[in-house]
Structure 1
């Protein structure tokens, strides 16, 4: 049996400066630049850190790299839209005029946008995401 001490989510970017500015200034996350250009640590509430590493031949993920659990998707969508963030629209989901899926993940709401490297990030609220992941 493998003994896992901690899970460290990771994803790549082709521009550390733009990525840092987006996650720090636009989303308001605590971001730490790692020594010698090794990457960034996105420090999330609850103690989780996400490692973002530079990759010259970066290709954006074609899937959601992470969902950010928020208190109120509507409020966050409004705030981010005011900062110039565009929300994605997907076939197969009924999305309202803001791009929000109502009743996403067992009762909460959800929405998606891309970061400067083109990676897809989701927002989710409600008990569904908490119940799903514990």
Structure 2
């Protein structure tokens, strides 16, 4: 049954005003649906969406929470850096970034952290 239903990501935010400013000013996203002051939905490519919601649990996950697929990771990284985004640098067995971008057997990836401590990702398949 679930395989036929739309799926969307859910991201926590401690401070909705700060988070909305980050997603607007740094990522260039505007809300598609403001359900109320504590729940805002954003629409991205191919009809995909994510919900930003208020909770004190924001920033506690130590894993990638949302990712965007791109055809040109270098252009996306460069654009986001020009907006003030700082990409994470990793160096551990199986994953090393160079200038914020890791090359893996399944593609290239880059990670950054939003205003609420959520780990976000950009990914390019080979």
TM superposition score category, shorter chain reference: 0.7 to 0.9
Alignment match, 2:108: 109
User: What is the DSSP-based 3-state SS (H/G/I as helix, E as strand, rest coil) of the residue aligned with 1:76?
Assistant: helix
Deviation readout 1:31-69 (Å, 9 max, x if unpaired): 235233131112111111111110134343210001111
Unaligned runs of 5+ in 2: none
Structure 2 Cα separation of the partners of residues 67 and 105 of structure 1:
17
Q: How does 1:1-134 map to 2 (within 5 A)?
A: 3-4=1-2, 5-32=5-32, 34-92=34-92, 93-96=95-98, 98-102=99-103, 104=104, 106=106, 108-127=107-126
More helix by share: 1
1:11/1:53 contact within 8 Å kept: yes
1:60/1:117 contact within 8 Å kept: no
Alignment match, 1:132: none
Unaligned runs of 5+ in 1: 128-134
1:86 and 1:70, CA in 2 relative to 1: closer, same or farther beyond 3 A? same
Q: TM-score, normalised by structure 1?
A: 0.79
Structure 1 Cα separation of the partners of residues 6 and 33 of structure 2:
21
User: What is the DSSP-based 3-state SS (H/G/I as helix, E as strand, rest coil) of the residue aligned with 1:77?
Assistant: helix
1:30 and 1:71, CA in 2 relative to 1: closer, same or farther beyond 3 A? farther
Q: TM-score, normalised by structure 2?
A: 0.84
2:26/2:84 contact within 8 Å kept: no
C-alpha RMSD over aligned residues? 1.8
